[in-house]
Structure 1
């Protein structure tokens, strides 16, 4: 890996799923491994041959579908994999993952940890970047998917999604919220005194947050985090995310936040742009070939309280000039009549 001045957070456009890469001069960490080739292409593009930690937020296919190929790739050394158990998962891919983890442990010496809870905070740091596991707590995780939390509320795989904080120079730069739902969020805010962060990868791709009202959930989440940049990891052709109620809740809570989707939602543009955007990075992105990227794969230089998304102005220009009816601007006139 080439020497770097600052560590990087890379949020990959993987379509419907989540995937992030943190790297510094010496080490790399992967957070969630969805299906498709984007992660493998990115690792190859960046000449990454060694991964210190893979963190799997939870057991859904759009977060684990790509790890099996990664574990069997003899050209990439994976030192540690951290994942929580999920007894209700009966899918073939979940069984395949467990088999692949056993194989990697026996053949390559990969360490497999069956716990990714708040107790891991401080043990997963990479270079100058501190990694927090903000949720679940060990007690919540002991309830497990299919069980209940301490208030007797039913837990799903989403309820116990690992929520990951990225801290640099004593400043929380980002929160990656995986698919956490309202029950998980209630437990999160009971346990964490502060959740503020500059960047929020919004939960569940902007889809339904469990049984809660989506608008209220978004308002509450953003009130706690107060993000400046909100990212939705979506596929243009699946699930119609982010939900408009989620976007409305965000804008009513943090009207100055910049909203970015990895791909261009059909709600925002029925037809794709005719010209190639100028704000996209050179890194692989699932939507590049079809010109369906909105933010695409984004790279953020991690620099403590000075961390920012360098292409924000160009992305805003793209939204205004090439997107017919962007939902990220739909509710601004209600909150800010002068915009």
Structure 2
């Protein structure tokens, strides 16, 4: 509602101005561009306050693909009517509409990957909304003053209009105060970021005045991504298991950042990769512990559970996965599951839902999540941490399973890193940044 209301106000106040500005351009280009610019500017403050980001490529996307919206709607309506008497023809119309929709989606994906496609706002929301309200009021005054043949100052401070102007200012300020706490992530709210590390896994948990936790370290250099998120120190590093796609970034992090503590699994048989990592961490001054029992860490803003699994007998690649650590993070009563490469029944044995967000085990391999877990979890979102690979990740079976349970899916190879937080209303907020 807030976005729709702001868009209408934008079209009313700015639509005509942009049409005049683009008057020399062809109408099929000028019209959607003017409408998009007016709506984008008006909705930007609400979008920044609610989601922490706003698109900078909406005009390009609408001009490039918006012309298919009319034909899609027409084909859809015709399909409904024709389907009542001639279903085969309705199928043809649906196929044509599907092709146009596929084109529109491709335009959206291409535009989302453009440099500087998204502007992110990390500041407080109230000043942003008050500034937007003040600008809207100024535009209204300018329109009214132009109609009265006066300047803005003379119109606003005319004695007989002072009560009206005061009431308008108070109304706009009240609307801003009402909108400010709605939906958006509060400044400095706890976040869980599933980093885009390619075919691997790394997740960052942050909150004001609370320990910074890194769960796994991806397959390669990671310090740059951590610095981008303002990380100057890792208070706790949790390594789910010793495979390189989850630990390869540790040397790079150690060269750039201090890691205070590290938590590693203790498989039943010796694991040379884990032993080597422990020695490397200890040589850098990190205090290393092996996790053999569930660990619960309650911090300001989030809770962390580290659960050791007991699903294998040592030796094989799959056994190492099943003897890994599983992490569950709670952000304001919303739980997020980070299972690493632990799959199937081995995962079912150690975790208990519900989870609002689930990272799909083993980069989207088949059998990672059981049907019973998906049924119990009632997940609002699934995230697959994946990159270019020769294993077929994510598999068609894993994607089909998520679709069957109605769980929307985000992939880091397509959508980039995923930042999860919780709104003041308790809803899960998800923001993505395009792939590197």
TM-score class normalised by the smaller sequence? 0.5 to 0.7
Matched, 1:114 2:296: no
Pick from 63, 73, 84 the counterpart of residue 246 of structure 2: 63
- Which SS does the other structure have where 1:113 is aligned? strand
2:398 corresponds to which residue? 246
- Which residue does the alignment assign to 2:257? 76
Q: Structure 1, residues 31-77: CA drift from partner, whole Å, max 9, x if none?
A: 0012222x311222123111111011112111111113323x2x422
Matches within 5 A, 1:89-238: 93-104=273-284, 108=285, 110-115=286-291, 117-118=293-294, 120-121=295-296, 124-136=297-309, 140=310, 145-146=314-315, 156-169=319-332, 171-188=333-350, 192=351, 194-209=352-367, 217-238=369-390
Listed as ranges, the matches of 1:11-90 within 5 Å are 11-26=194-209, 27-37=211-221, 39-71=222-254, 73=255, 75-86=256-267, 88=269
Q: Distance in 2 between matches of 1:249 and 1:261?
A: 15
Contact 2:202 2:215 in 1 (8 A): yes
- Greater helix fraction, Structure 1 or Structure 2: 2
Name the SS of the counterpart of 1:158 in structure 2. helix
Kindly provide the CA deviation profile for residues 157-204 of structure 1, in whole angstroms up to 9, marking residues without a partner as x.
Answer: 1112222111133x233111111123412422xxx5x41111100101
Distance in 1 (alpha carbons) for counterparts of 2:348 and 2:240: 18
Cα contact 2:336–2:358 (8 A) shared by 1: yes
Q: TM-score normalised to the size of structure 1?
A: 0.65
Q: Secondary structure at the match of 1:248?
A: helix
Secondary structure of the residue that 1:230 maps to in structure 2? strand
1:319 corresponding residue in structure 2: none
With normalisation by structure 2, the TM-score equals: 0.52
> What is the distance in 2 between the residues matched to 1:168 and 1:127?
10
Cα drift, residue 10 of structure 1: 0.5
Contact 1:173 1:302 in 2 (8 A): no
Mark the CA change 1:310 to 1:205 in structure 2 (over 3 Å): closer, same or farther: closer
Moved over 4 A (4+): 87-91
Distance, in Å, in 2 between the alignment partners of 1:303 and 1:56 is 29
Distance 1:42 1:176 in 2: 19
CA deviation digits over 1:69-91, x for unaligned, max 9?
323x2x42211100012465665
Cα RMSD (Å): 3.1
Mapped to 2, the partners of 1:160 and 1:57 lie a distance apart of 9
2:281 and 2:426 map into 1 onto residues whose CA distance is 38
Paired position in structure 1 for 2:128: none
* Alignment equivalent of 2:419, drawn from 283, 286, 299: 299
| Matched residue, 1:5 | 188
SS at match of 1:156: helix
Matches of 2:259 and 2:250 in 1, distance apart? Answer: 11
